[in-house]
Amino acid sequence: MNKKNKVEYLIKELDNLFPEVPVPLDHKDPYTLLIAVLLSAQCTDERVNQITPKLFKRADNPFDMINLSVEEIKEIIRPCGLSPMKSKGIYGLSKIIIEKHNGLVPKTFEFLEELPGVGHKTASVVMSQAFGFPAFPVDTHIHRLMYRWGLSNGKNVKQTEKDAKRLFPSENWNKLHLQIIYYARKYSPARGWNINNDIITLKIGRKSILNKLI
């Protein structure tokens, strides 16, 4: 199966498996999504969704957020891990959003990636899920599966994103990246992975995967 056929098959099968793909992180607007995505670094979405209601009860907008101290933010988000760095990022980006963007989350990669604690992946999630801009955020799940499916060389996430954007039609990006994440969690986890349970890999990549394992 060549790459073109793999792409067509993947789009079809992922649509069958996951016709609806809600955003995994609970949020109500671009700002709360931005904060949730920042918190999700090295933390599960489930844990983030347990913490954000407590944080957003105190501050669900940048104006209220900067009325909290960095220490107060850190105590609330501590269960997410990396709380010293994340709390400084949340406070700092909230201040910049007020001072430079009139309290509104900016709608460009350039301005988003200038915010403290916001890298390209976080910016891509916000652009895609909050603003509907075609983007293909690559997390560890997508990076792993693009390699297992023989669609990228696994060198780094930057290359994986480049390959994904080259192979998949842009009109599919926003839905597809979520479908792949849902698929990875259910059928192709990093730990305890069994190729016989990985129905898509079994179909399009069994030979190449087994060769890599031998």
Judge whether residue 76 has pLDDT over 60: yes
User: Model confidence over 166-184: pLDDT tens digits?
Assistant: 999 999 999 999 999 999 9
User: Model confidence over 96-141: pLDDT tens digits?
Assistant: 999 999 999 999 999 999 999 999 999 999 999 999 999 999 999 9
65 and 154 within one domain: no
110 and 36 within one domain: yes
- Domain extent at residue 90: 30-130
The secondary structure of the chain as a DSSP string is --HHHHHHHHHHHHHHH-S----SS--SSHHHHHHHHHHTTTS-HHHHHHHHHHHHHH-SSHHHHTTS-HHHHHHHHGGGS-HHHHHHHHHHHHHHHHHHHTTS--SSHHHHTTSTT--HHHHHHIIIIIT--------HHHHHHHHHTTSS--S-HHHHHHHHHHHS-GGGHHHHHHHHHHHHHHH--SSS--GGG-HHHHHHSHHHHHHHH-
Q: Which residues are catalytic?
A: 121, 139
pTM of the model: 0.89
75 and 53 within one domain: yes
Q: What CATH number did the domain enclosing 104 receive?
A: 1.10.340.30
115 and 141 within one domain: no
Judge whether residue 214 has pLDDT over 60: no
Instruction: Give the number of domains in the chain.
Output: 2
